């Protein structure tokens, strides 16, 4: 998942951005920059093309992105109002809520409340990405989030919810019978958010993904907070689990080696952690991990020798082991960092 570029597809659909004059100007500038770099003729205008026209004609064929450009005259409220007035939102199945303004000044309450107030305009909505800011718009640690439980209450048919940003993030304990995928991408996951998620009744949940981050950016969730999840007491339909982006990757692997939840999880993602050879030893020796169908570990600190041991031990598992890192050494001290913090 890149934080430097916007998504080009979501929920199995191509992303189409609902346009504004500011966005069109931004796209023109981007096209001119690419043309200069490629030493090609520089365009003096930008046209949305057939894809945009087709999406307007059949709104259900695209995942729609709503966002505003910094310093533009249009507010997010204005942009949203134009969208529901211009597009047949009864057909929209996938929606991306991007930059809603200066993230450190405007919290997620505003776009959340706009969506819940107009939930009747989106009867087919099944997938929502809430907070798709890229670094040009805001660092992940700057995004001011909110309680997402009202969104789930307003959209009982929602099947997928992705949220980016941990500041103020909450999910008050809720019941939702349709949600199949839940992802929280943060540089610091608050304990309050984790507790709410794990206290929720989500019988259809098949995929859960949590990015923990660091305490300096609000990551107060600890390994102990995951005890009910690891014990296998929650989410009876869970088959895919992503526990990512922490400073305690080695301890997490030790806990997972004896965790009942892995008796039914088929896909496990342990990317972005501080995961060293100590954790690699557990991966290479614990029988638990050999029953997985797929194990993904991107961004880790395993040495080459340990990587080979893990690959040999998990030869029957579809293993992705990539993006090996080396710790930073400064003034004689060694520092390890998870992938996503600020």
* Minimum mean pLDDT range among 41-55, 278-292, 303-317: 41-55
CATH code for the domain in which residue 63 is found: 3.80.10.10
β-bridge pairing 240-244 and 267-269: parallel
pLDDT at 4 over 70: yes
Separation of alpha carbons 282 and 262, rounded Å: 15
118 phi and psi, to 5 degrees? -115, 30
* Per-residue confidence (pLDDT) for residue 1, from 0 to 100: 56
State which residues form the domain around 132: 9-267
Angle formed at CA 82 by CA 76 and CA 84, multiple of 5 degrees = 105
Name the pLDDT band for 104 (thresholds 50, 70, 90).
confident
* Per-residue confidence (pLDDT) for residue 300, from 0 to 100: 98
Separation of alpha carbons 8 and 67, rounded Å: 14
Q: Is position 331 within any domain? A: no
Q: Is position 323 within any domain? A: no
pLDDT over 90 percentage in the chain = 92
Q: What is the total count of domains within the chain?
A: 1
Q: Is position 324 within any domain? A: no
Q: Is position 100 within any domain? A: yes
Average pLDDT, the chain: 96
β-bridge pairing 13-17 and 9-10: antiparallel
Q: Is position 289 within any domain? A: no
Residue from 104, 102, 110 nearest 130 by CA: 110
pLDDT at 64 over 60: yes
Residues 179-194 pLDDT 10s: 999 999 999 999 999 9
Q: Is position 322 within any domain? A: no
Mean pLDDT for 14-22 is 95
Q: Is position 147 within any domain? A: yes
Token pair for residue 49? 């093309």
Residues 109-162 pLDDT 10s: 999 999 999 999 999 999 999 999 999 999 999 999 999 999 999 999 999 999
Could you tell me what percentage of the chain is helix, strand and coil, using 3-state DSSP and rounding each to the nearest 5?
35, 20, 45
pLDDT at 80 over 60: yes
Mean pLDDT for 85-96 is 98
Mean pLDDT for 87-98 is 98
Separation of alpha carbons 42 and 45, rounded Å: 9
Token pair for residue 243? 């526990």
Token pair for residue 85? 């007035």
Q: Is position 244 within any domain? A: yes
Mean pLDDT for 39-51 is 90
């Amino acid at each position: 998942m890149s934080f430097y570029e916007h998504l080009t597809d979501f929920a199995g659909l191509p992303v189409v951005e609902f346009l504004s004059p500011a966005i069109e100007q931004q796209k023109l500038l981007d096209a001119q920059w690419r043309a200069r770099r490629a030493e090609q003729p520089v365009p003096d205008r930008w046209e949305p093309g057939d894809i945009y026209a087709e999406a307007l004609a059949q709104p259900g064929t695209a995942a729609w992105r709503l966002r505003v450009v910094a310093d533009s005259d249009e507010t997010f409220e204005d942009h949203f109002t134009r969208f529901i007035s211009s597009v047949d939102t009864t057909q929209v199945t996938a929606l991306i809520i991007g930059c809603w303004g200066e993230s450190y000044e405007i919290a997620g309450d505003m776009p959340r409340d706009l969506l819940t107030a107009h939930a009747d305009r989106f009867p087919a909505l099944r997938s929502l990405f809430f907070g798709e800011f890229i670094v040009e718009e805001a660092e992940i640690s700057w995004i001011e989030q909110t309680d997402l439980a009202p969104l789930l209450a307003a959209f009982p048919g929602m099947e997928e919810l992705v949220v980016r940003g941990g500041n103020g993030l909450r999910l008050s304990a809720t019941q939702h019978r349709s949600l199949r995928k839940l992802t929280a991408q943060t540089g610091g996951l608050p304990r309050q958010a984790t507790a709410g998620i794990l206290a929720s009744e989500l019988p259809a949940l098949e995929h859960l993904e949590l990015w923990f981050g660091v305490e300096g950016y609000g990551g107060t969730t600890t390994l102990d907070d995951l005890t009910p999840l690891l014990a296998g007491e929650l989410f009876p339909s869970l088959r895919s689990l992503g526990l990512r982006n922490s400073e305690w990757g080695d301890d997490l692997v030790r806990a997972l080696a004896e965790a009942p939840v892995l008796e039914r999880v088929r896909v496990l993602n342990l990317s972005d952690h501080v995961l060293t050879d100590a954790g690699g030893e557990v991966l290479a020796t614990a029988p638990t991990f050999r029953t997985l169908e797929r194990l993904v570990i991107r961004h880790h600190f395993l040495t080459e020798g340990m990587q080979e041991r893990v690959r040999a031990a998990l030869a029957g598992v579809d293993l992705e082991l990539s993006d090996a890192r080396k710790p930073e050494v400064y003034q004689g001290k060694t520092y390890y960092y998870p992938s996503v913090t600020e």
